[in-house]
Structure 1
Amino acid sequence: MAMGLDARCIEGVFSRAFAAEFNTRLVGGADEPLYQPPTSGAPAEIYYCRDYARSALHEVAHWCVAGSRRRRFSDYGYWYTADGRDTQQQAAFFCVEAKPQALESFFCAAAGIAFAPSLDNLSLEIPAAMLEQFQNQLRREQARFNNHGLPFRAARFAQALRKARA
């Protein structure tokens, strides 16, 4: 099996697939992920952590989930609480993460990178029942995409990733 794509290659794949049509670029090197909408003179920017390929794929998945209205707002207009969430905040995090992580799993497969669900919270002992519920929700989203196909931008990106690995 060929090696998986690295973060810089993923940036190039994203640029070729979306820069012109969606005025958006993928940018590594950030301490924390962030989406910034376009301004009058600059494209939208999707920042991912450092040079982590998985972070790049995850942030693209969020971009693929966000509709045109959401893409007008910083971080798509959603809340985000970094590592250190309590149980209630973690449950809310899991509710919004199943769909993007399901897309991320397809991107990882296309890019030749191992996928594992991200809990994004190292300081909380997550109850087993909560973790199981999230994993089940993630599997349902993956099955839904398997049965009905990926949304347009996600399908385009997955195809471009596969092509880059060929």
Structure 2
Amino acid sequence: MNHSPNDLIMLFNDLFRETYRTVLVRGSDEPEYLPVSEPLGLAQVVFAHGYYASALHEISHWCIAGEHRRTLHDYGYWYCPDGRTPEQQRAFEQVEVKPQALEWLFSIAAGSRFHISVDNLAGDGAADDTGFRLSVVRQAGDYLRGGLSGRALGFLDTLKRFYGTGDSFVEAWQQDIGRIAPSYSELDTLRKTETV
């Protein structure tokens, strides 16, 4: 299956340009969120280097951000670059559970491969790799049991329609759990989950 970031730009912009005055934009180096800066302007969700996965990740952050956060540059969040101390990495992992869980669901809907990212190559890596992976799986399950916001649900449904994954989505997600978190033991519970 072809995964062009141009498709994500088209899908996101068709869905959110008018209703949320926001567009998805291909960037160069670092991803960022640029709120509206003038009365008739558009907010921009900027993803890095034209990478498909970066676009899905930045869309995830945008779907989670509340109304006030969407008025702030980068949603008003602190960001400590790669090379974090163990304490900084633990804080990073706590904040990243929700967007990575949502990015994973978006990836499944798009038929693309998701990769957990602790984003700390110059540091000591994950503070708690297994715990982080399990938290992402649990959060994705919570989202599927009815915890998706309107924007996230709308984009997930759009991806399923565009990539034709609606009928296979739940099964594909369940099969991918073992790859994302090999030690996850609640698979039977997840199989009984009613999902979106």
| TM-score range relative to shorter protein | over 0.9
Aligned position for 1:103: 102
Q: Do the aligned residues in 1 keep the contact of 2:24 with 2:44 (CA within 8 Å)? A: yes
Aligned position for 1:69: 68
Q: Does 1:156 align with 2:162?
A: no
Q: CA deviation at 1:4?
A: 4.3
Aligned position for 1:16: 14
Aligned position for 1:26: 24
* Distance (Å, rounded) in 2 between the aligned partners of 1:136 and 1:112: 22
Matches within 5 A, 1:57-96: 57-96=56-95
Q: Output the aligned Cα RMSD.
A: 1.3
After superposition, the C-alpha distances for 1:33-88 in whole angstroms (9 at most, x for unaligned) are 10010122420001101110000000000001100010000000000112111111
Higher relative contact order (CA 8 A, sep 6+): 1
Count of aligned residue pairs for this structure pair: 163
| Dislocated runs of 4+, deviation >3 Å | none
Percent of aligned pairs sharing the same letter = 40
Aligned position for 1:117: 116
Aligned position for 1:38: 36
* Distance (Å, rounded) in 1 between the aligned partners of 2:36 and 2:28: 18
Unaligned stretches of 5+ residues in structure 2: 165-196
SS of equivalent to 1:35: strand
Amino acid of the residue matched to residue 23 of structure 1? R
Q: CA deviation at 1:125?
A: 2.4
Q: Does 1:138 align with 2:136?
A: yes
Amino acid of the residue matched to residue 6 of structure 2? R
Q: Do the aligned residues in 2 keep the contact of 1:83 with 1:121 (CA within 8 Å)? A: yes
Q: Does 1:7 align with 2:10?
A: no
Q: Do the aligned residues in 1 keep the contact of 2:83 with 2:124 (CA within 8 Å)? A: no
* Distance (Å, rounded) in 2 between the aligned partners of 1:76 and 1:114: 27
Q: CA deviation at 1:149?
A: 4.4
* Distance (Å, rounded) in 1 between the aligned partners of 2:49 and 2:27: 4
Larger Rg: 2
Q: CA deviation at 1:5?
A: 2.7
SS of equivalent to 2:26: strand
Q: Do the aligned residues in 2 keep the contact of 1:4 with 1:111 (CA within 8 Å)? A: no
SS of equivalent to 2:112: coil
SS of equivalent to 2:128: helix
Which has the larger displacement, 66-75 or 138-147? 138-147
